[in-house]
Amino acid sequence: MLGLYKVECDSIFYDGIPINQFDENSLYNNTSAVFQDFIKYQTNVRDNIAVGDITYVNNDEKLESALNRVLFDNHFPGGLNTKLGYIDQDSTNLSGGQWQRLALSRVFVKDNPS
């Protein structure tokens, strides 16, 4: 589906349409993927989410909306500027599930996350 492997014609369908009939750029702009081995960026919440679309890095409303879409219920002590990971002693570490939700929120920063 992501085009990482070439497939035979008419072997993968999206809404009943063979994947080979889609414009690749359109498909890439309207879909996202979250891999099982996602990256835990050792930076702040803001940057972690904005990886999905860096143009929104300073748009608090958009970033918080993305967190809400994945039902992220942690209230960070420093809000979106809370440092994450183990980099320094002021950082907040997350559980595995919280890191997964944070990675998933990157999908919802895009304008049209189909």
Tell me what pLDDT residue 41 has: 92
In residues, how long is the chain?
114
> Which structure tokens are listed for 60?
């608090």
Q: Which whole-number Å values give the CA distances from 64 to 17, 38, 51, in the listed order? A: 35, 20, 14
The low-confidence residues of the chain, meaning pLDDT below 70, are 1, 3, 74, 112-114
| Residue 88 one-letter amino acid | D
Q: What are phi and psi of 89, to 5 degrees?
A: -70, -15
